Amino acid sequence: MSEQKLTILAIGGHVGDAELTAGGVLASHSLKGDKIVTLALTAGERGVPAGQDMAEYRAQKVNEAKAFADMLGGESIVFDIPDGELKDTEEMRLRVCDVIRQVKPNVIITHWKNSMHKDHATTHHIVNDARFFAGLASFERELPAHFAARLYYAENWEDAVDYKPYVYVDFSKEAFDLWVKATEQHWFVTNSKSFPYLEYYKHLARVRGIEARKEYAATFMVPEETKRVLKSELF
């Protein structure tokens, strides 16, 4: 019997968040034949390059999200919420709930709870509740209920307060190369003057890989209520 294929939904506050922080693992699962979907609650257009129209940059960001997803054989979704104006509301939870029911992921990846960026922290709270709503059969929406069994919070330099690696997921050089090539589709990753994004995350993948006694790895936190290791023996 063939191994069951997974669907992974990676949700970021902006286009590029999930692609950078969890991209190596997404690429690895893509190479295994799993389905990859990215959802950005905003495009992240306020990082517009000097002299470029912000509306044009937003369209560019949406295309960059699609280019990344296409390279992984997946799909991208970008909400039409203005960057920096993401609200922690019931409406947003329902929009994300509906995407979860549409995509039917086995795994959801999103931001850790603490961040220097309010859109990241807001996304964390929205996704946690949306996952709960999506799994409730008694919560009637257009699509039937779906519960994503696994929820992970990705490691992000902007979400570092109280983040402590809990789960290490390793990936191959082939996945690393695919991730880097796909991530380079994002303008800010290679052109930002404020932070060397690609350099940082490439080195982080190697450091986490060394810690895991592997070549490359990404780390994740999990919800507090799932922090349990079950053993029948000490060994």
Q: What is the pLDDT of residue 231?
A: 85
β strands within 23-173, DSSP E:
35-42, 75-81, 107-111, 150-154, 167-171
User: How confident is the model over 181-186, as a mean pLDDT?
Assistant: 97
234 in a structural domain: no
Q: How confident is the model at residue 59 (pLDDT cuts 50, 70, 90)?
A: very high
User: How confident is the model over 69-93, as a mean pLDDT?
Assistant: 96
Q: Is the pLDDT at 67 greater than 70, yes or no?
A: yes
Report the number of distinct structural domains present in the chain.
1
173 in a structural domain: yes
Amino acid at 74: G
73 in a structural domain: yes
**Residue 129, domain extent:** 7-226
233 in a structural domain: no
Q: Per-residue DSSP letters for 172-196?
A: -HHHHHHHHHHHTTSHHHHH-SS--
Q: What is the CATH number of the domain that holds 175?
A: 3.40.50.10320
Question: What count of Cα atoms within 13 Å lies in the side-chain half-sphere of residue 155?
Answer: 20
Which residue is it, tokens 């799932």? 226
1 in a structural domain: no
Mean pLDDT for the chain overall: 95
235 in a structural domain: no
Give pLDDT tens digits for 9-36: 999 999 999 999 999 999 999 999 999 9
Task: Give the distance from CA 220 to its chain's centroid.
Answer: 11
Quote the DSSP letter at residue 22: S
Q: What is the pLDDT of residue 168?
A: 98
2 in a structural domain: no
Q: What is the pLDDT of residue 2?
A: 44
22 in a structural domain: yes
The model carries a pTM of 0.95
Q: Is the pLDDT at 1 greater than 60, yes or no?
A: no
The 10 Å Cβ neighbour count of residue 47 is 17
